[in-house]
Amino acid sequence: MADTKRFIDELRNAWRDEKGAALTYAAAADREKDARRRDIYLRMAAEEEKHAERWEKRLRELNAEPGPYIETAAEIQKRVDLVSRNPDVIASTMATAEGNADGAYVLLASLAPTEEDRTAFGDAGRAERAHDRVLRDMAPRAEQPRSALDRILGRERHVRGGGWIGQAIYGINDGLGAAFGIVSGVAGATHVNGSFVLLSGFASMIASALSMGSGAYLATKSEKEVHEAELNRERKEIKEHPEEEKEELSLFYQLKGFTEAEANAMAARMAENPEEMLRTLAHEELGLSEQAFSNPWKSAFSATVSTAVGAAVPVLPYLFIGGVAALVTSFIISTLAHFAVGAAKVVVTGRSWWKSGLEMMVIGLGEAAITYGIGILISPLVR
């Protein structure tokens, strides 16, 4: 249940981000005087809108309405300011946003309940990386050092580190939330019987940690296998239809601003080395590289350990004290831990740390209150 809710929350965020990106690209196209650049912006706006429609449809399949897309006055003003500035600033700014969106899809793929979802998020992530590369080529060559550094650091943070960092944060939250709820429920049902609480708490910790670890391993491994299968298909295409693949590569170069003659010459030179051509097409068309493949064992270790750490928090007081004192202490440290984990989510979401922490704390308190109440209700059956 917790995983499904988290998946839905992140999917809503992705839907909202795609809607915003589509509007930004459309606004940039309206202000753009260069026909080639305007066409690129319009294509990107259409693709972002398709992503938004897909996530909206998936949310409804999960019986979760995305809700109306409403921007605050500040967000609308930010978009107006963005498209009113130098068009080159728009390209470099949106390149950073596309890198961040790719990191969000890495996280969504790790939470996805089905293989179809993981494939969809992988496709969306590759599209965001392709947009990132095209936008960076559209940005001015003499980019300001501060802007260039911010863009590079933002991309490294979200694409390279977002996967395992996100799994660690959400692993702690999953373990903390599950164990807090179980401990509260058992405490209510057994009138704070320390032995029962300890047993149920540690059982929850082990089960949650193994479940999260195995899930992260399988999700990352599946994504890597899908990417490798795409590389093999691309290799087969190069072997069986070399002229079509050469034309495709030429079109990528033309999109980057080269003349048709220059692009054809570069593609022909690249075709002399099929493996180099494969690496180039994989990068340009699919957005794949060795750095794009996360290590399944690293993901599994991060998810397992972080979940176990989170699940241990509500149980620790019962190792040293008992009775109501243990329950109160568990309640206090678990509440603070929920706030800390929520605040830590800014590492992967970039949102307000105190709002995120407060939201997570309220959810944790609500979960504990519900399970404690259920425990009291069924306590007559526990003898």
Q: List domains and CATH numbers for the chain.
A: 2-160 (1.20.1260.10), 165-222+296-381 (no CATH), 225-292 (no CATH)
- Summarised one tens digit per residue, pLDDT across range 2-17 is 578 888 888 888 888 8
Judge whether 345 and 361 are in contact, CB under 8 Å.
no
Q: If DSSP codes are grouped into helix, strand and coil, which group holds residue 321?
A: coil
Residue-wise burial string across 194-228, b where 16 or more C-beta atoms lie within 10 A, e elsewhere: bebbbebbbebbebbbebbbebbbebbbbbeebbe
Stretch (H or E) spanning 158: none
The token duo for 77 is: 């003003």
How many CB atoms are closer than 10 A to CB 52? 21
Nearest to 19 by CA among 60, 57, 64, 53: 53
Q: 156-197, pLDDT tens digit by residue?
A: 444 344 455 666 777 787 888 888 888 888 888 887 777 888
Residue-level pLDDT at 95: 61
> Does 105 or 75 have the greater pLDDT score?
105
Question: Cβ distance 220 to 296 under 8 Å?
Answer: yes
Q: Are 300 and 214 in contact (CB under 8 A)?
A: yes
Residue type, 368: A
> Which carries the bigger pLDDT value, residue 95 or residue 193?
193
Q: State residue 153's pLDDT score.
A: 43
> Which pLDDT does position 278 carry in this prediction?
79
Contact 205, 175 (CB under 8 A): yes
190-to-82, 166, 377 alpha-carbon distances in Å: 59, 36, 11
Length of the chain: 383
Give the pLDDT of residue 143. 43
The conformation of residue 337, written as its DSSP 8-state character, comes to H
Closest to 334 (Cα-Cα) out of 199, 189, 178: 178
**Segment 17-32 mean pLDDT:** 81
Residue 235 amino acid letter: R
- What is the average pLDDT across 206-210? 86
Q: At what angle do helices 260-271 and 274-281 cross, to 10 degrees?
A: 130
Is the full-model pTM beyond 0.75? Answer: no
- From residue 130, how far is each of 14, 67, 183 by CA, in Å? 17, 29, 47
Least-confidence region, from 184-188, 273-277, 282-286, 323-327: 282-286
For the four alpha carbons of 148, 84, 76 and 78, in that order, the dihedral sign comes to positive
